[in-house]
């Protein structure tokens, strides 16, 4: 039996599925009291991607200090925390186990319950933090480093997959293409920042499955095209035109995401589009999807910037939404593979 929803109850949210160690204190009415995190990009930079063992070790080192900051910044006592939510999957096994063990140990010490949450449900819940009146049914476009999917979210946490990527995720495409262009790690925010000064029509990069009737995505061809482009042009040219190349790359990724989202909105007749996941921080994507929704007469919800990339508040928010609906299960088992549908 799930406990009754309590707007004053304090939740600790813990996120450790990949390379962010994050904790947050969130009240049952969805007020975020604190949301600190540690981003491990320094640890993984020289490898150009997340190394699971290094990530797990960094989570072990950082989880206690980040937890302590979350409590301190929230200005609450440990005895005021009523429940703990942590990410149980999908994600990397070692990092997930660090968060789960910490949550379980703390919950035992404090004599409070702990609940495992789906990371993807957390990303969607982040939109509820910024748009309190949001209610299913809606279409969710989740775009992150590991996922790109269009999901119809129905009342009662029922999920219907409308389409997902056949290969790379949108964030992965940003990161891998940016890496090829020598832009560092993670390249998504850097590409986006450079793109803001460039000409989006400078070069036409391919948009995977553009003329396909499905709502599926493919970004592997784009990666190959960027690699070929960088091999065919000398370093001086690439350097001089980097802003234009980034703008063209961003245009290709954003255009296909918007096109498929429109296709899915028409197919499902969903009244609202929710954009979420780390790539939802991308300003061009937010603007273009906002415009497309306005044209279609569809409501548009997106988390505020602090809740787009992985964070603890979104994990607490997901548990709070489930508790409100009486659908919070006391599962604590970690699952690296945990699709929503
Ligand atoms: O959701 P998230 O924090 O972690 C995963 O669950 O994967 O997403 C991280 C991804 C990375 O690929 C990162 O490059 C991308 O989100 N990202 C962006 C931007 N900010 C983060 N991509 C494009 N533009 C941005 N502004
Ligand atoms: Zn994520």
Q: What strand order describes the sheet that includes 158-164?
A: 158-164, 148-154, 138-143, 272-276, 299-301
Q: Above pLDDT 70, what percent of the chain?
A: 99
Q: Which ligand lies nearest the alpha carbon of 145?
A: 1
Q: Which ligand lies nearest the alpha carbon of 146?
A: 1
Query: If you write DSSP's letter for every residue of 194-256 in order, what string do you get?
Result: HHTTS-TTSS----TTTT-SSS-B--HHHHHHHHHHHHHS-HHHHHHTHHHHHHHHHHHHHHH
Confidence (pLDDT) at 4: 52
- What is the whole-number distance in angstroms between the Cα of residue 302 and the centre of ligand 1? 14
Q: Of 223, 144, 231, which Cα lies nearest the Cα of 178?
A: 223
- What is the whole-number distance in angstroms between the Cα of residue 112 and the centre of ligand 1? 33
Confidence (pLDDT) at 83: 98
Confidence (pLDDT) at 48: 87
- What is the whole-number distance in angstroms between the Cα of residue 172 and the centre of ligand 1? 8
User: Residues in the chain with pLDDT < 70?
Assistant: 1-4
Fold agreement (10-127+307-324, 136-305): yes
Q: Residues 219, 167: contact at Cβ < 8 Å? A: yes
**Which mutation among 279, 304, 340 tests ligand 1's pocket best, with the greatest number of atoms within 8 A of CB?**
279
Residue 6 exposed, middle or buried by CB count within 10 Å (0-12, 13-18, 19+):
middle
Confidence (pLDDT) at 2: 45
Atom of ligand 1 nearest to the CA of 192: 24
Q: Residues 122, 109: contact at Cβ < 8 Å? A: no
CA distance 22 to 62: 9
83: phi then psi, degrees, rounded to nearest 5: -165, 160
Instruction: List, in order, residues 6 or more apart from 206 with CB less than 8 Å away.
Output: 221, 222, 225, 252
Count of alpha carbons within 13 Å of 183, Cβ hemisphere only? 27
Confidence (pLDDT) at 1: 40
CA distance 49 to 172: 10
Which pair of structure tokens corresponds to residue 299? 């409501």
Q: Above pLDDT 90, what percent of the chain?
A: 97
DSSP state of 88: E
CA 261 to chain centre: 17
CATH of domain 136-305: 3.30.420.40
Task: Encode pLDDT of 165-206 as tens digits.
Answer: 999 999 999 999 999 999 988 999 999 999 999 999 999 999
Residue of minimum CA distance from atom 1 in ligand 1? 278
Q: Residues 139, 151: contact at Cβ < 8 Å? A: yes
Which pair of structure tokens corresponds to residue 247? 């703008």
Predicted TM-score of the model (pTM): 0.97
**Which mutation among 22, 122, 144 tests ligand 1's pocket best, with the greatest number of atoms within 8 A of CB?**
144
Confidence (pLDDT) at 336: 98
3-state secondary structure of 12: strand
Indicate the domain borders of the chain. Answer: 10-127+307-324, 136-305
Q: Which ligand lies nearest the alpha carbon of 307?
A: 1
Q: Of 38, 151, 129, 99, which Cα lies nearest the Cα of 316?
A: 129
CA 338 to chain centre: 15
CATH topology of domain 10-127+307-324: Nucleotidyltransferase; domain 5 (3.30.420)
Q: Of 220, 229, 219, which Cα lies nearest the Cα of 255?
A: 219
- What is the whole-number distance in angstroms between the Cα of residue 123 and the centre of ligand 2? 6
Residue ranges lining ligand 1, Cβ < 6 Å:
18, 144-146, 171, 174-175, 186, 188-189, 192, 277-279, 281-282, 309-310
């Amino acid at each position: 039996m799930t406990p009754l929803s309590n707007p004053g109850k304090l939740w600790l949210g813990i996120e450790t599925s990949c390379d962010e160690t994050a904790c947050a204190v969130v009240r049952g009415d969805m007020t975020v009291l604190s949301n600190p995190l540690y981003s491990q990009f320094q640890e993984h930079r020289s490898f150009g991607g997340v190394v699971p063992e290094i990530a797990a070790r960094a989570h072990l080192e950082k989880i206690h200090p980040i937890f302590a900051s979350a409590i301190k910044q929230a200005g609450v006592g440990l005895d005021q925390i009523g429940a703990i939510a942590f990410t149980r999957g999908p994600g990397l096994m070692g990092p997930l186990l660090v968060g789960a063990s910490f949550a379980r140990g703390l919950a035992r010490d404090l004599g409070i319950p702990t609940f495992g949450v789906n990371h993807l449900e957390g990303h969607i819940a982040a939109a509820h933090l910024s748009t309190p009146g949001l209610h299913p049914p809606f279409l969710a476009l989740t775009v992150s480093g590991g996922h790109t999917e269009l999901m119809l979210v129905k009342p009662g946490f029922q999920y219907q997959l409308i389409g997902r990527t056949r290969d790379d995720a949108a964030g992965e495409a940003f990161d891998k293409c940016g890496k090829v262009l020598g832009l560092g790690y993670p390249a998504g925010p850097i590409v986006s920042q450079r793109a803001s000064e460039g000409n989006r029509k400078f070069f036409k990069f391919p948009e995977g499955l553009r003329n396909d009737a499905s709502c599926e995505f493919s970004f592997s061809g784009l990666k190959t095209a960027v690699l070929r482009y960088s091999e065919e042009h000398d370093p001086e040219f690439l350097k001089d035109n980097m802003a234009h190349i980034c703008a063209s790359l961003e245009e290709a990724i954003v255009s296909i995401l918007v096109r498929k989202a429109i296709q899915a909105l028409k197919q499902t007749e969903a009244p609202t589009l929710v954009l979420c996941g780390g790539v939802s921080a991308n300003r061009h994507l937010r603007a273009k999807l906002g415009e497309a929704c306005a044209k279609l007469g569809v409501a548009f919800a997106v988390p505020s910037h602090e809740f787009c990339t992985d964070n603890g508040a979104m994990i607490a928010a997901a548990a709070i939404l489930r508790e409100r609906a009486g659908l919070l299960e006391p599962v604590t088992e970690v699952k690296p593979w945990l699709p929503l549908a």
